[in-house]
A = this chain, B = another copy of it.
Amino acid sequence: MSTAKQPPAGIATVTTPSDREIRIERVFDAPRERVWRAMTDPELLAQWWGRGYKLDVERLEVERGGHWRFVEHGPDGVHGFEGRFREVVAPERMVQTFEWDGMPGYVAVDTMTLEDLGDGRTRVVTVSLFHTTEERDGMLSSGMEGGLNQSYAALDRLLVSLG
């Protein structure tokens, strides 16, 4: 009998390494280059980022200083998100800001790393840093985790189709 130390496949591990951070870890069954492409090609990103709902990629300039802006058309309304790239190192690392139109001026910094697991799989770790603990807790209680797992499930399906 195995013990359930790991979450079931397809579920992200969400932890809080400090009082202003959220850490999200997820393994994808696809090579790193393919995962990176799905995250940086606007036509591919539009197919998974918005939980599988319609997503307008209004701007996606994947380079230092570049801006991004996405608008999701979900069952709970239209939501805009935007930010700017601090650092881009293909295919292994990007650092960018993240802001939701519903709370303008509240900005998290997301540091994402893609690790090649050597067996055709890729581990993606994102650490989000907030200005305050209250902002971090607001994000945690926003339904973020459910939405994230929906988006990553849509990404799983896309990665299979690109295989």
Contact = CB atoms under 8 A, between A and B. Distances in A.
A134 interface: no
Interface in A125-152: 129, 131-132
A13 interface: no
Chain A interface category by residue count: 20 to 34
Number of copies: 2
A85 interface: yes
Nearest to A102: B65
Contact of A106 (B66, B86, B103): B86
A107 B109 contact: yes
A106 B105 CA distance: 13
A17 B101 CA distance: 30
Contacts of A129: 131-132
A48 B107 CA distance: 27
A156 interface: no
